Amino acid sequence: MAIEKGEIAFRSRRSVYIDGFAHKNPVPVACRIGNIVYSGGIHGLDPETGRTADGLDRQCELMFGHVRDIVEAAGATTADIIKMTLWMRDRGDRHVVNRHWEAMFPEPGNRPARHALHSELGSGMLIQCDFVAVVDANA
């Protein structure tokens, strides 16, 4: 939709929630305004137990699954993700993360940017991420 000179563009904020992954505090898992989606922190929460899964591989499997579910609930796809930030207890374990990364983003020429940071995560978390997506304005 084109905005004519003198018009004010109003953008409403839309909170995103999904089944199987929620924050303990009263915040959504992501938020969309216009064609931009920002997630909150996403980790390997096991929806069956309500707890962080054991082991980095399982945490990555669940985390990337939650990313997919969240971005789709926001009206986008993983192809719309432009940046992911990872917080890892041990950045030396990126080879484990890379298997899941390459499964979600198999084409080297069509991957989002990524930044991995060291963090002392609590609650058994070995990894956590967030993402930014830019969505087709008509989605």
Domain holding 29: CATH number? Answer: 3.30.1330.40
pLDDT value at residue 138: 65
What is the average pLDDT value for the chain, to the nearest integer? 92
Query: How far is the C-alpha of 96 from the C-alpha of 127, rounded, in Å?
Result: 11
Rounded to two decimals, the pTM is 0.90
Q: How many CA atoms lie within 13 A of 107 on its CB side?
A: 4
5 part of a folded domain = no
Domain total of the chain: 1
> Residue 24 — pLDDT band, cuts 50, 70, 90?
confident
Q: Average pLDDT in the 54-71 region? A: 98
- Check whether 70 has a pLDDT greater than 90: yes
What pLDDT sits at residue 30? Answer: 98
Q: Write out the residue range of the structural domain in which residue 54 sits.
A: 17-134
| Residue-level pLDDT at 5 | 47
